[in-house]
Amino acid sequence: MDSLPEKPEPATFTRAGVLHGMKLTAPYSVSALPFGLAFGAAALGVGLTPGEAILMSTTAFAGSAQFAVLALWTAVPLPVAAIILTAFLVNARHIVMGAALYPYISSLPLRQVLPVSAGMTDAGWAITLQAMMNGRRDLGILLGTVIMQWPVWVGGTAVGALISSGGLDVKRWGLDVLIAGVFATSVVGLYRGKDDIWPWIAAVAGTAGALLWLPGNWYILIGGICAGIAGLITSRDEEKAA
């Protein structure tokens, strides 16, 4: 936010911006395909129908949240509230991301901004923020990132689901390791420095305690909240350093 000019020029929403955003997103778009395929296959492995898997990728369009709820999907009856709460906790970071992007496009009406924000991903956000920090304050860029990722994610899910629609043995084909592996590797990729250490230790402790002593799926909620509280307490100095 340091790079915000003193007197910002009004932001724009142009076709050229959309094309620019699409161009910047192309490499991410390609790398999202195998994850879409994997999600489709894993979703069927835990018991979603192909239609449900495709519906989820279309409406939620949130990779890590979608993989997260698969860990809950095998429970009977389906823990609907836990699933929705998990999606919220995994995606709560979007609130911070949107708030960080807002100052660059605050001159645009919300009726333009909010529909475009519906497709904001981590990669799309990072691409857009970088372009805007470089002076290109065009909401079209964010829309371009959406256009390049949404169809790929939904299409990948559909193909992955249809390939495995005959029914797969989750353990035999290592799909449980696939689901857990998505998280284990994203934790590695998410590590940003020592500010993350205490929140993660808190999450491990809270989760282990919840798994041992609480029934059901409270561990996910407790892990997220423990990390949030630890972040609240321990990352105070980051604010001044930044």
Partner 1 sequence: MIEGLTTFDTAAVIAILGMGIVTYATRAGGFWLMGYVTLSPKLERFLRQTAGGVLVAIVVAAVMKGDPAMWAGLATAVGIMIALRKSMTAISIGMIVAIGIRYFF
Q: Which of residues 59-98 bind partner 1 (CB under 8 A)?
A: 59-62, 64-66, 68-69, 71, 77-78, 80, 83-84, 86-98
Instruction: Quote the CA–CA distance of 206 and 3 in Å, as a whole number.
Output: 39
Residues 167-176 as b/e (b if ≥16 CB within 10 A, e otherwise) read ebebeeeebb
Q: Which two tokens stand for residue 238?
A: 């980051």
Q: Is 41 in the site for partner 1 (CB under 8 A)?
A: no
| Cβ neighbours of 81 (radius 10 Å) | 9
User: Cβ of residue 208: shortest distance to partner 1, in angstroms?
Assistant: 6
**Interface residues for partner 1 in 101-140 (CB under 8 A)?**
101-103, 106, 110, 113-114, 117-120
Q: Is 223 in the site for partner 1 (CB under 8 A)?
A: yes
User: Cβ of residue 32: shortest distance to partner 1, in angstroms?
Assistant: 10
Q: Is 170 in the site for partner 1 (CB under 8 A)?
A: no
Stretch that binds partner 1, among 11-19, 57-65, 127-135, 148-156 (CB under 8 A): 57-65
User: Cβ of residue 170: shortest distance to partner 1, in angstroms?
Assistant: 11
Q: Please name every residue paired with 12 in a beta bridge, in sequence order, or none if there are none.
A: 138
Residues 6+ apart with CB under 8 A from 219: 206, 207, 210, 211
